[in-house]
Amino acid sequence: PSVIPSNTPSDTHSSSPTISNAPSSSPITSVELQRRQEMAAAAVAVSGSASIDDTTTPQHNALEWLLLDDDLQLNASSPSFEQRYSMSTFYFATTNNGQNTWINCGADASTSSCSSESQRFLSSSSECDWLGITCNGSGEITNIDIRENGLAGDVSVIIKELVSLSSSLEGLRLSINALSSTIPTEIGQLSNLQSLFLNNNNLVGTIPTSPENLSKLTTFSVGNNGMDGTIPGEIFHPTLVGLDLDDNNFHGTLPSEMFTSSLGLANIDIGGNAFEGTVPKGFGNLTNMKLLYIQNNKFVGTLPPELFVSASLSMLNCSHNDLNGTLPDELYGATSLRTLDLSSNEFSGAISTKIGDLEDLTKLNLRSNKFVGAIPSTMGLLDELISLDVSFNLLSGIMPDEVCSLRNSSGLFIELVADCSGSSPQITCANTCCSKCEIGHGA
């Protein structure tokens, strides 16, 4: 039977716990009874009476561990009680109440390795020493970084319990685990949060609007989940630098706030969704943009010249959309570009000789478009190239000697793909030049 005092059913967090009549193997002293009542009341203030009274919840199990098994034997007035309770609840919530295990530093030493026993969750050391936990000089938790560690469970329960740490918590990174359910509105109560990484889990549902309260947030990462819906403009703040929404089921157009409220955005990955409409000219407002991935969406129309305003733009992936038209001249002024992927669209026209101005390019993918004419010899100026793919286009002629010479002389340039196969190849490529010949649209 539970040793936790039970509560009279109540909708508030302030109900007074009363001791359970469950039998006990030994008499409980009045001091211990008072300790249990006070700790139960403190836990109720954080989690609510329903969570504490229900013996199947991680909150109940965390409090029972603190009462009976924690070597520190804290009481409700201990300075670290609340955050130790929160982190214990976190552990039980991500291990099915201890029935499952973590990869590293879980509570059970027989099923989970740990380089230092002081880092093991539910050990006798301070919770500030537990795996992935960082505290400030006052002993308050500022960062939780437990990525790729076999965590499972309901993310809404976890975040709700972390609200008690809102005055100090600045970073939360739970990437590459098996967390499920939806992001709760309570995420907006973590008012000091600067970075949020929930990517590569099993989350579903929409992004709540409550992040409008996260005015210090620099990174918002929920990529590689099963989320859906449109993107709320409320997530965009002046502090936001990194946005990762890739490989979900988000749809609709990009909100205008992205280009008016978060002008410091530098790294944007929204690929692998169902965003639609034209590529917004508002990208021109993001003058610090370094990385933009919009591949595998439903964008239409031409590439706006404004896309290339940022002098820092080094990675651009627009592949697998329905983009068309000729490439804007402004592209060739984006001389910081290192990777450019425009494959699997409907781009047309000739490839400009100005392509040689992009001297930092390491990867250029123009595959599966409708480019016409000759391959410009100025591509031979791209002496940083590792990969070039111009296959499945309407190009013709010979692969320029300048490109072949670069491939044969450079130890870096390992991949050159063109439509040089078939009975009537569109591109004539010297034997040692192209690494792979496609039949393309020819016979």
d(CA 38, CA 338): 60
**pLDDT of res. 3:** 67
Per-residue confidence band for 157, with pLDDT thresholds at 50, 70 and 90:
very high
In degrees, rounded to 5, the angle at the alpha carbon of residue 215 between the alpha carbons of residues 209 and 220 is: 65
E strand intervals along 116-217: 133-135, 141-145, 152-154, 171-173, 178-181, 195-197, 202-205
**pLDDT of res. 6:** 61
195-205 confidence digits (pLDDT tens) = 999 999 999 99
How large is the average pLDDT for residues 360-367?
98
| SS3 call for 241 | coil
Q: Quick one: which of 283, 290, 248 has its CA closest to 266? A: 290
Write down the mean pLDDT value for the chain. 93
How large is the average pLDDT for residues 424-433?
92
- Concatenated DSSP letters for 317-328? E--SSEEEEPPP
200-220 confidence digits (pLDDT tens) = 999 999 999 998 999 999 999
For residue 387, give the H/E element and its range.
strand 387-389
393-406 confidence digits (pLDDT tens) = 999 999 999 999 99
User: Above 90 in pLDDT, residue 19?
Assistant: no
Residue type, 86: S
Q: Model pTM?
A: 0.92
First to last CA, the chain: 78
d(CA 52, CA 6): 8
d(CA 153, CA 248): 19
d(CA 127, CA 132): 10
d(CA 375, CA 414): 18
| SS3 call for 135 | strand
DSSP state of 397: E
Percent of the chain exceeding pLDDT 90 equals 90
Q: Quick one: which of 49, 60, 64, 54 has its CA closest to 12? A: 49
> CB-based contacts of 29: which residues, under 8 Å, 6+ apart?
none
C-alpha pair distances (Å), 50 with each of 10, 47, 104, 148: 8, 8, 31, 31
Judge whether 292 and 268 are in contact, CB under 8 Å.
yes
